[in-house]
Chains A and B, each alone.
Chain A
């Protein structure tokens, strides 16, 4: 299957090129089953997660802040991402650019990324460079300088980034409209990078306020993964992050939630640069919640069974192979989200098949699936692959670090992460059907047609 139609995930990088815990004083770390994971919490509230992998003398430090684009004040979209860029500029002790230059001078690489729910910074270096990385990361948690000149130049960089990522990409523009329509009240409806007109208006005050409020140890998770020992990481964390005071006025993380959604939304995005028309639909869907991940697990199966494999999924078999009307058909769901997530369906029709016909066929196939439910073979195939993915995941300690950082910054605990593979293994066909019936509610959906001209859409 050859395809090149990326539905980008809303995580963007600074540079193009990605628990129940105990107090440190009690010195009784929680060790999660499966991965070699140890957690601590410092007195100032900083959570520390250590993942051991001694195959190579390399370490990754990731500092995750529990703040993303969905925590931005109204009218200041893009400020979380803007601030992420500015963390590479001057601090009290570091000149602009010195952070990355020092990482490079130590043979390492560094970057950062922003999503709706988190902002994270990471460095990858030889394991014995960890103390210096912590010293610098702690420095910019509290002592960012934020000069007007740096802010001005960086705004231009971000305008170019938005040009490159979004304005030059009809698929990204279409997706932005769709997400905005999906969320009526929740700030997930805003693009992570920000609306262009609001990026252009961001200045020192917006950035400074955001930094002062959210960049604090009690709003952060430190993940250290690689050739390290937990006690040594704890001692280093105490030394470098321990002295930074907690932010007493850290706001509770409550975003505007969705009202009942009562109307199906239909959008048409026309752009002459679109070469391949397609239909995509999203539904509001429950996310993984701490201690309550079963529905998300069932939706994970649903996405895999409906649209995971190009060859054996329900949509692939029926629309690409049997009916022979689509180049590609798929489904997507990622339950890792602090608030309501989305479940998506898509179809790229073959030339000569209208978008209306493609959408109607998609609906028929989904309706048929709701009648019959998954076969035992389909359930078993996905179960096997999910089990194997845990084996393959152990090959990348960086990916494990991301898994824990993302989970802990999106309301889950180390125990939830540890329990997830088992919860996935125990999903039944009945749960999949039940989750499907609940999620496919037309009133909670947005359907988007993307085409090069209006003529593609004879109504």
Chain B
């Protein structure tokens, strides 16, 4: 079954000019009953395909942390009759590209396939998804790669800050656990664990599909059934919602480096909160975007305390929070934090100006259509919308949601939701004037050298 909904993306740019580009999103239901979104465009002879499986590393058994990640790394390491090298040689001969990647909420599969050999490329991708071999020799090789990455993470200030921040904010919830596992947990993973992780993480009821490019709805329907038809229908329960658990304070993690790295955050808003768009615009003014945000202006442009500072309003599947980051010399981090706290307090108490709101809206509505610039990026946007539960019409309605935000709303949300008392900083480095005893020290997992 194929339903078509034609959407027009309006490119409104500030003043008078309005240009329009049509992207036509077709909803394709495969003969086997899997739904997909398609933008058919025969300009360039290839197709970009994006698959998202809900669950991701959130499906890790707490006793087997890192299993989903290691499993994902092994999807391209041999399938069906082919070992890793035979599989990759076949893929390279077709000049197809596949990438497999997993995060806390989703497992991502991105593919580009030339029209001239799409069927053969799809055969290979099907084998990787449905019949990965998990050869013992490949398991050991990729396990070594994961251990190497874990060892590098232990020496990376940004990763150390991130690990400490999420651990403190989410505790035992999957968001608080290390995505890639720990050196000990990864060392202990068995082939059986990987088979279970595969069975759990790639299921038909949790997949979302988007395709853009040189393919018809009929061909896409057949291709999806071939790719996904052999996967299990369903998997284990997904994780529950969790509150952001950090309250105001500063943690300092000692690390020998001339420049400190900081993450900071406070509770945020759910994606379907009626105030989400107001908060989204507010975040843009505070620390989103580029040179123009208040934090960039105050911390970088006026004082030269950092190369970059930014904030994001993050609605994950099961938690929502504001998060920001910056790096600053050890003798300047304390001042940078003071400036950020001041700005946090100022926007909460004074709100923003009409001029700032207008500038943010113009930027956000103008920038949105610029994202639709190629088969791959469009497929990525469409599959992301499906994950978030947005309708196809969102691409045309989204800018109206931004436009509808009023000054009164933004300032009410700033007063109600931005909380300088709740802002929590995790600093990695040797910042001067920030005493480690201002807050409890975070204990990091002990570093264990990679297995030999």
A interface residues, Cβ below 8 angstroms from B: 1-5, 15-17, 55-58, 88, 96-97, 100-101, 104-111, 124-129, 152-161, 163-165, 167-168, 170, 227, 272-276, 309-312, 317, 320-321, 324, 327-328, 348, 350-352, 380-381, 384-385, 387-389, 391-392, 394-398
Residues of A contacting B20 in the complex (Cβ-Cβ under 8 angstroms): 57
* Cα of A355 to Cα of B290 in the assembled complex, Å: 43
The dominant DSSP class at the B interface is mixed
Interface: B43 (CB within 8 A)? yes
Q: Are B19 and A127 in contact (CB under 8 A)?
A: yes
Contact B148 A327 (CB under 8 A): yes
Write the residues of chain B forming the contact surface with A, with a CB cutoff of 8 angstroms. Answer: 11-15, 17, 19-21, 41, 43-46, 48, 73, 76-77, 84-85, 87-89, 92-95, 97, 112, 114, 141-142, 144-146, 148-149, 151-152, 154-155, 157, 256-259, 261, 289-292, 297, 300-308, 327-329, 332, 359, 362-363, 365-367, 369-370, 372-376, 449-452
Could you tell me if A15 and B257 are in contact, using CB atoms closer than 8 angstroms? no
Question: Do B373 and A160 touch (CB < 8 A)?
Answer: no
Q: Across the interface, do B146 and A312 meet the contact criterion of CB distance under 8 Å?
A: no
A272 to B328, CA, bound (A): 21
Shortest distance in angstroms between B140's beta carbon and chain A's nearest beta carbon? 9
From B94, B152, B359, B376, residue with most partner A Cβ within 10 Å: B152
Residues of B within 8 A of A164 (CB): 259, 307-308, 327
CA distance in complex: A426, B258 (Å): 50
Known pairs A55-B43, A168-B327; A387 contacts B95 (CB<8 A): yes
B146, B154, B370, B375: residue with the most chain A Cβ atoms closer than 10 Å = B370
B17 and A126 contacting across the interface, CB-CB below 8 Å? yes
Note all chain B residues with C-beta closer than 8 A to A160. Answer: 259, 304-307, 327-329, 332
- Set B13, B149, B289: member contacting A129, Cβ < 8 A: B13
Would you call B362 and A107 a contact (CB within 8 A)?
yes
Beta-carbon contact of B291 and A15 below 8 Å: yes
Chain A residues whose CB sits within 8 angstroms of the CB of B77 once the complex forms: 1
In the bound assembly, the distance between CA atoms of A101 and B30 in angstroms comes to: 47
B379 → A minimal CB distance (Å): 11
Asked if A97 and B85 sit within 8 Å, CB to CB, the answer is: no
Give every chain A residue within 8 A of B73 (Cβ-Cβ).
Answer: 1-2
- Whether B290 and A125, one on each chain, are in contact in the complex, defined by CB atoms closer than 8 angstroms, is no
What residue of chain A has the Cβ atom nearest to residue B22's Cβ?
A56
Of the candidates A153, A352, A398, the one whose C-beta lies within 8 Å of that of B304 is A153
Residue of chain A at shortest CB distance from B363:
A104
CA distance A388 to B95 in the complex (A): 6
**A274 with B155: CB separation less than 8 A:** yes
One of A3, A55, A96, A312 near B85 (C-beta < 8 A): A312
- Distance in Å: Cβ of A300 to nearest Cβ of chain B: 16
Q: Do residues B303 and A106 form an inter-chain contact, with CB atoms below 8 A?
A: no
Quick one: which of A88, A159, A311 contacts B89, CB cutoff 8 A?
A: A311
Interface centre among A107, A317, A320, A397 (most CB of B within 10 A): A107
- Can you name 14 A-B pairs with beta carbons within 8 Å? A1-B77, A1-B142, A57-B369, A58-B369, A153-B303, A155-B304, A159-B329, A163-B258, A164-B327, A165-B307, A321-B141, A327-B144, A395-B376, A396-B374
